[in-house]
Chains A and B, each alone.
Chain A
């Protein structure tokens, strides 16, 4: 007798298709969540990416800034000269005029 005739052709449990649908839908949700997370990261990277290295100060700007810092009339913040309030009006006026002239020269270059 052929022993394969003794093999029982068994029936799988009935909920197979529903279980498969659940698993596929779960995979889909995970795939969508992963894609959304990637998009979000890309969007953040584009928005917050630095716009390049800070601009180097030109020689005249640097010298003015240096002298002004020494005189405690100007301070440098993020590469830009900022006026420090002072009562010595004449001195202050001189440094502000020098700074404006320097900035005009820079923008004209």
Chain B
């Protein structure tokens, strides 16, 4: 069983990479922090059944899931609010931690490619660990990352290799 001390140590070590991944789903620092906090609270609630050797993959998985959920909710709300001209959209504004073009390019990536790219760029997980986390073959991680970078280059106008 995980105790509070262990979860706090994990927070100290993983907060930054998790925050950066969350930020590429929320595009808002406050919401990204809230998302990371929520992930750790969920880990706390599940502390009885999470093993210490799989906890890192577990918390990354929660952040990815919460990020996707957040993005879907945001997109749905924008679709609805666009039907109401002049209505207050009620969502916090996006912050441009990356360039606006890069942000749009990342947003245009399919979920599978986006998750691989974010884990490869921001986590310290090895390719094998990312593969286990996403339940895919290690070779698929490499190919998805390659494809994601290619798509980003195309979106940014750099053209493929």
A residues in contact (CB < 8 Å) with B:
1-4, 6-13, 16-17, 19-21, 23-24, 27
Contact = CB atoms under 8 A, between A and B. Distances in A.
A2 B45 CA distance: 40
B11 A16 contact: yes
Contact of A21 (B8, B33, B36, B102): B8
Contacts, number: 72
Interface string B30-58: 10110011001100110000000000000
Interface of B: 4, 7-8, 11-12, 15-16, 19-20, 23, 29-30, 32-33, 36-37, 40-41, 44-45, 97-99, 102, 105, 117, 121-122, 149, 152-153, 156, 158
Contacts of A21: 8
Contacts of A6: 98-99, 102
A20 B102 contact: no
A10 B37 CA distance: 16
A93 B101 CA distance: 107
Given A2-B149, A3-B158, A6-B98, A12 B15 contact: yes
